[in-house]
Amino acid sequence: MPPRSLVALLAVVIALPVLSGCGADDTLSPEAVASAADATVAKGGAKIAMELNATLPGADKLTMSGEGAVDTRTRRGHLTLEAAQAPAGIDKEKFTQEIVFDKLIIYLRGQALAAVLDKGKRWIKIDIAKAGKEAGLDLSSVMQTGQDPSQSLRLLKAVSDDVKTLGEEDVRGVKTTHYKATIDLEKYPDTVPANDRAAARATIETLTKATGESKSPVEFWLDEDKLVRRYVQSLSVKTGATKNAIRQKIEFYDYGAKVDVTIPPAGEVQDLTDLAATGLGGSTS
Q: Which of 197, 181, 209 is nearest to 144 (CA)?
A: 197
State the CB neighbour count (10 A cutoff) for residue 266.
9
3-state secondary structure 27-64: CCCHHHHHHHHHHHHHCCEEEEEEEEEEECHHHCEEEE
Q: Is the domain covering 3-282 a CATH 2.50.20.20 domain?
A: yes
Go through 132-158 and write b for each residue having 16 or more CB atoms within 10 A of its CB, e for each that does not: bbebebbbbbbbbbbbbbbbbbbbbbb
Q: What is the pLDDT of residue 146?
A: 37
Q: Which of 22, 36, 47, 49 is nearest to 232 (CA)?
A: 49
The reply to whether the predicted model has a pTM over 0.95 is no
Q: Which of 176, 158, 256 is nearest to 216 (CA)?
A: 158
Distance of CA 20 to the CA centre of its chain: 20
pLDDT per residue, tens digit, the chain (285 aa), is 555 555 555 554 554 443 333 333 446 888 899 899 888 888 889 999 999 888 766 667 888 899 999 987 777 899 998 888 877 777 777 778 899 988 888 899 988 788 888 999 999 998 887 877 766 665 554 443 334 566 677 778 888 888 999 999 999 999 999 999 998 888 878 887 788 788 778 777 766 766 667 788 899 999 999 999 999 988 776 655 666 778 889 999 999 999 999 999 999 999 988 877 665 555 444
In the chain, where are the structural domains located? 3-282
